[in-house]
Structure 1
Amino acid sequence: MCAHVLIAEDDKKQAEVIRQYLEHAGHTATEVYDGYAAIDEVRRRAPDLLVLDVMLPHLDGLQVCRILRHETDLPVLMLTARSTEEDLLRGLDLGADDYMTKPYSPRELMARIRTLLRRPRRPAAPDLHILRAGPLTVDPVRHEVFMSGQPIMCTPGEFTLLAVMAGQPGRVFRREQLLELTRGSDRYISCRIIDVHMGNLRKKIEPDPRRPVHLVTVFGVGYKLTDGRTGHAKSGGHASP
């Protein structure tokens, strides 16, 4: 079979070697060199397989894998110089299909790629992709948001922010982290945009935007998305960022 493979590897010489082996095997390949570009290219072209280096600049491979797993069942083969069992398990837990440590044999890499391309993609169970935090549901595939069953209209920026936070409800995100995970390839905006999105989202999903119980401010740190049962007082959440 002829497949299109995306190579996300910041070492351009290494990416070129992988591309040449893929083309020799009859496949086509595209190279990108940072995490944001990998996400953009997957969304734009929908490759058949992603060869993903963990140590990518700007957004590392583990974060890339976690974000893409909310959107696609694309097979992912991770490459890393890390060789500890903890790193390996973390990559697999985030949704990687296979994992190779550097240095590796290009022939073995191609054998792993052939195996993944032959493997049928598992059909997603109903609603498996839907993210939930209490009464809030986020559907990354259909690009829909519901609060207590009622549809919520969101801008693309607001939707991406909710999808990231709903993937890990209860986690406290710093503004800088949210900016990195949601801004895509645009590196020239400030953290203030996160505060603006939060204010707009609170008007849409909170019973009282002045006393939020879902999108909660953690003072001196950032924001977290809760199920609404913990209350603003316990988390120190008020409407002002």
Structure 2
Amino acid sequence: MCEMSWRLPMTASGEKPGRPTSGRQVLLVSDDPELSASWAITLRQMGLEVRMATSGAEAASKWARGTFDLALIDVYSPTLDGIQVSRQLRFHATNPILLFTPHRDERHTLEAYRAGVDECVFKPVSRSLFIAKVWAWLRRSWTVPAEALDSVQVGRLRLDPARRRVITETAAVKLTNLEFCVLHLLMCHRGQVLPSRLIVERVWGCGAEGDTVLLKNVIYRLRRKIEPDCSQPRYLKAVAGEGYVFYPAEDLCSVRTGPSTRDEQGPCYPMTCAGLF
């Protein structure tokens, strides 16, 4: 069912006045063809680039490989719901996720937030509120683009922010958003043991809870991509009871504990992962 058909004031360039939207990408996930078409038109009138998905698997694949600023989810089929999709997306990145839902009960809302949703928007939603929500959450991710960061090289590994990949001795490997953020943070603090809580705060955002399991999963995926032998890590090492350290075997520097505000191997960025994409 088509719930809205909106038109916005436009500038000559096709963008809404006063909003720097060029290059901003939104992932729209919906199993309602009419509604998703209507929302997509509105988002494009706002000057945003829109990518669409109709299933959880398709959404997760695009979210992991893309550089999205925001996800809008409206999925309520018999076999897949928006909470499940949100959980799949949160596994790959920390960018804002909005869940549009007709369910107003507290149990459903709490489950959505536990799954990684940043805000539940109750349906039906007016044009003005939809637009306001999108602008508000996009403002939170209007920060430093990944390509603006300098490349980081430690030993035989080089991290390329522009292409979001790591160049090893044998190949150039594409990274997901979270993989890039974690590896960038650790490489910028070569030889330092970074506590798991610090990594979670830097990557997932201050106040993040329950993301240490996700951190372990990201480390596991990174090892599979960059380590010659995952059973004997050469680059990403765990320090029992403390955290993780990027410490190549050929590196002669000593391992340090605790974060510093500056590191000779590259910039330390005190920002969330979402701010890099």
User: Could you state the TM-score of these two structures normalised by the residue count of structure 1?
Assistant: 0.53
Contact 2:87-2:115 at 8 Å conserved across structures: yes
CA shift, 1:141, in A, is: 5.8
| Partner residue in 1 for 2:35 | 14
Q: 1:56 to 1:4 in 2, by over 3 A?
A: farther
Q: Which amino acid aligns with 1:118?
A: R
CA shift, 1:98, in A, is: 1.1
Q: Which amino acid aligns with 2:122?
A: T
| Partner residue in 2 for 1:100 | 121
CA shift, 1:5, in A, is: 0.6
Q: Which amino acid aligns with 2:213?
A: L
CA shift, 1:63, in A, is: 1.8
Please, which of 193, 201, 213 is the counterpart of residue 131 of structure 1? 213
Q: Which amino acid aligns with 1:119?
A: R
Q: 1:60 to 1:121 in 2, by over 3 A?
A: farther
Contact 1:10-1:57 at 8 Å conserved across structures: no
Separation in 2, partners of 1:26, 1:97: 23
Please, which of 44, 69, 77 is the counterpart of residue 90 of structure 2? 69
Structure 1 residue runs of 5 or longer lacking an equivalent are 154-241
Contact 1:130-1:140 at 8 Å conserved across structures: no
| Partner residue in 2 for 1:117 | 138
**How do 1:41-52 and structure 2 match up within 5 A?**
41-52=62-73
Runs of 4+ in structure 1 off by over 6 angstroms are 121-124
Contact 1:36-1:59 at 8 Å conserved across structures: no
Contact 1:51-1:76 at 8 Å conserved across structures: yes
Q: 1:36 to 1:59 in 2, by over 3 A?
A: farther
Specify which structure has the bigger relative contact order, considering alpha-carbon pairs within 8 angstroms and separated by 6 or more residues.
2
Secondary structure of 1:67 counterpart: helix
Q: 1:142 to 1:26 in 2, by over 3 A?
A: farther
CA shift, 1:64, in A, is: 2.1
Contact 1:76-1:98 at 8 Å conserved across structures: yes
| CA RMSD after TM alignment | 3.0
Deviations 1:163-189 (A, max 9, x none): xxxxxxxxxxxxxxxxxxxxxxxxxxx
Identity of aligned residues (%): 25
Secondary structure of 2:216 counterpart: strand
**How do 1:1-241 and structure 2 match up within 5 A?**
1-2=20-21, 3-56=24-77, 58-120=79-141, 126-128=198-200, 129-131=211-213, 138-140=216-218, 143-144=221-222, 151-152=230-231
User: Could you state the TM-score of these two structures normalised by the residue count of structure 2?
Assistant: 0.46
Q: Which amino acid aligns with 1:138?
A: K
Q: 1:56 to 1:117 in 2, by over 3 A?
A: farther
Separation in 2, partners of 1:29, 1:141: 30
CA shift, 1:44, in A, is: 2.2
Deviations 1:53-108 (A, max 9, x none): 24156442212222322321111000112121211121122221111122111321
Q: How many residues align?
A: 146
